[in-house]
Amino acid sequence: MAQVELKNVSKSFGQTKVIKDVQLSIEKGEFVVFVGPSGCGKSTLLRLIAGLESLSDGEIIIAERPVMDLPPSERGIAMVFQSYALYPHMSVFQNMAFSLSLQKFSKTEIRERVEAAAKILQMERLLDRRPAELSGGQRQRVAIGRAIVRNPKVFLFDEPLSNLDAALRHGTRVEIARLHSQLEATTIYVTHDQVEAMTLADKIVVLRDGEVMQIGKPMDLFNNPENEFVANFLGSPTMNFINGVLGNVKKDVNLAEFLGEGIELSDVRLVSTEKTRGTTVRLGIRPQHLNLDPKGALKGKVTLVEQLGTETIIELMSPENVLFRYATSEQINLIVGQDANFSFDVRKAHIF
């Protein structure tokens, strides 16, 4: 296990700056997930840590040692790629043993390490097979096993589940969580899937256009997003937003009055204290935090009903032509075309 530190890390391709002054500290044994939309720079940041891309500026420190001038093989890392990158002509055993053979390990130690990794991953019976004889999930386990045998200080995962179908993705995600718990290894994991981020991470790093938007524990980010981007990106279905302006602002307690489209609220929490009366803002409330209420101020006409088994999601259109969603685990009888009113606890709302 090793601590990883990024100090003012930047990366440019020509005149385009794709990673912008990232500051991050990852503790020993921590599972950190880089998450964000496609093109936000999360995979580039991982490749900088791995040494597959060179820094434009800043420092990367692994186990208290600057690694900027070290090749990937000397950084104490092992990387699992999205594409598996297995040798098709080699058996599972040979694929897992390949890097150890290059490092001149003895045949006895190679076999011990490969068999130990295979046992951890419950794939002892697959060691003689070729990649073409394996399912997608099994191939991904081979790629993970190839990383385990190296006993790295840090595991790096670059969207390892994106090639799997929904059922395999869930099963492999559970295996990765179990593996991390068993090995207690420092792990950095890249994904665009917020479900993976929320379920796997000790700490999430939300990225947008090469910048860190927020860092924190999954539920801290979910419950206390610092900006509209994080609020909208984390959570399914996405957060509802209502345009409005601020009324009275109580800066001493960080609360304000909100005057919006058909809604007036008192004592809503301000995300930023740099707000004054009359400021144009957006109020955010999660679909799960709405309550059906005949006297509720939020009104809408049902446009879509999605029955998902454990959850029902209702899409509605407000009189101001603003689309919003209501999500509930209860059985409800709303139908398309029906009018409904909602209320919500202002303590669960956010002003951006």
Domains of the chain: 4-233 (3.40.50.300), 240-351 (2.40.50.140)
Per-residue model confidence as pLDDT tens digits over 275-294: 788 889 999 999 999 999 99
Within 13 Å of residue 287, how many CA atoms lie on the same side as its CB?
20
Per-residue model confidence as pLDDT tens digits over 60-92: 999 999 999 999 989 999 998 888 788 999 999
- Of the chain, the percentage scoring pLDDT greater than 90 comes to 59
Per-residue model confidence as pLDDT tens digits over 221-278: 999 999 999 999 998 899 999 999 998 888 778 888 888 877 888 888 887 767 788 8
Strand order in the sheet with 31-35: 77-80, 154-158, 186-191, 31-35, 203-208, 211-216
Q: Could you write out the three-class secondary structure of 151-188?
A: CCCEEEEECCCCCCCHHHHHHHHHHHHHHHHHHCCEEE
For residue 204, give every residue at least 6 positions away whose Cβ sits within 8 Å of its Cβ, in sequence order, or none: 32, 33, 35, 197, 198, 215, 216, 217, 218, 221, 234
Q: Look over the chain and give the mean of its residue pLDDT values, rounded to a whole number.
A: 90
Tokens of residue 69, six digits: 């001038």
Tokens of residue 207, six digits: 């990225």
Residue 1: per-residue pLDDT: 67
Residue 41 CA to residue 44 CA, distance in Å, equals: 5
**Residue 198 binned pLDDT confidence (cut-offs 50, 70, 90):** very high
Q: Could you identify the residue written with the tokens 């202002």?
A: 346
Per-residue model confidence as pLDDT tens digits over 341-352: 999 988 899 988
Q: Of 47-51, 173-177, 214-218, 317-321, give the lowest mean pLDDT range.
A: 173-177
What is the average pLDDT across 165-176? 82
What is the average pLDDT across 144-160? 90
What is the reported pTM?
Answer: 0.88
What is the average pLDDT across 42-48? 96
Residue 47: strand, helix, or coil: helix
Best CA proximity match to 137, nearest among 114, 168, 104, 108:
168
Residue 102: per-residue pLDDT: 85
**Residue 19 confidence (pLDDT) above 80:** yes
**Residue 314 binned pLDDT confidence (cut-offs 50, 70, 90):** very high
Residue 297: strand, helix, or coil: coil
What is the average pLDDT across 2-23? 94
